[in-house]
Amino acid sequence: MIFNLLQRQTYTCLSHRYGLYLCFGGLVLMIVSAFQFGEVVVEWSRDQYHVLFDSYRDNVGGKSFQSR
């Protein structure tokens, strides 16, 4: 019942003059948003990695020289 209603509304939207353009624009917007979200996740992951492991990068005999 709900599927038929949704299908009918989708066909009605696509049959209008700008319906296909709106669907294409929505698809492009979703793809761009997914790439943006992926970029933010990668940056966050990289920052978390640096927070955890930068203290060991400049470490000689248990003494950190990173702040110099």
Residue 20 pLDDT class (50, 70, 90 cuts): confident
Considering the domain boundaries, does residue 41 fall inside one? yes
Which carries the bigger pLDDT value, residue 6 or residue 58?
6
Considering the domain boundaries, does residue 48 fall inside one? yes
Which carries the bigger pLDDT value, residue 28 or residue 52?
28
Considering the domain boundaries, does residue 64 fall inside one? no
Considering the domain boundaries, does residue 23 fall inside one? yes
> What share of the chain has pLDDT > 70, as a percent?
78
Quote the tokens at residue 41. Answer: 């996740």
Residue type, 15: S
Considering the domain boundaries, does residue 13 fall inside one? no
Q: Residue 60: beta bridge partners?
A: 63
Residue partners of 14: CB distance under 8 A and separation at least 6 = 20, 23
- Residue-wise pLDDT for 34-66, tens only, equals 999 999 999 999 888 877 776 666 666 666 666
Find the radius of gyration of the CA atoms of the chain: 25
The residue range of the domain holding 25 is: 18-52
Considering the domain boundaries, does residue 6 fall inside one? no
